[in-house]
Amino acid sequence: MSTLNTSADGRASLAFDTDLPAEQGLLAWTYDPNMAGHVTAQSNAGVAGRITLVRIPIRRTILWSNIWIGLSGIDAGASLSNCYLGVYDTTGALRGTTADISASLMTGATAKALPLATAFTATPGMYFIAMLLNGTWTTNSLHFKASGAGISVNAGLTAPNLRYSNLLTGQTSLPSSLTLANQATSIITTGWASQWYGVS
Examine residue 54 and state whether it is found in any structural domain, yes or no: yes
What end-to-end distance do the CA atoms of the chain give, in Å? 27
Examine residue 1 and state whether it is found in any structural domain, yes or no: no
- pLDDT tens, residue by residue, 120-171: 999 999 999 999 999 999 988 999 999 888 778 899 999 999 999 999 999 9
| For residue 28, pLDDT beyond 80 | yes
| For residue 89, pLDDT beyond 50 | yes
- pLDDT tens, residue by residue, 49-75: 999 999 999 999 999 999 999 999 999
pTM, to two decimals: 0.90
Examine residue 11 and state whether it is found in any structural domain, yes or no: no
The CA angle 131-23-35, to the nearest 5 degrees, is 50
pLDDT band at 16 (very low <50, low <70, confident <90, very high): low
Domain count, the chain: 1
At residue 4, the pLDDT reads: 45
- pLDDT tens, residue by residue, 97-125: 999 999 999 999 999 999 999 999 999 99
Which domain range does residue 137 map to? 44-199
Examine residue 64 and state whether it is found in any structural domain, yes or no: yes
Neighbours of 18 (CB within 10 A): 13
Examine residue 142 and state whether it is found in any structural domain, yes or no: yes
Within 13 Å, how many C-alpha atoms sit on residue 137's CB side? Answer: 26
CA distance 166 to 186: 7
Examine residue 77 and state whether it is found in any structural domain, yes or no: yes
| Amino acid found at 58 | I
Examine residue 6 and state whether it is found in any structural domain, yes or no: no
At residue 36, the pLDDT reads: 86
Examine residue 25 and state whether it is found in any structural domain, yes or no: no
More confident position, 178 or 9: 178
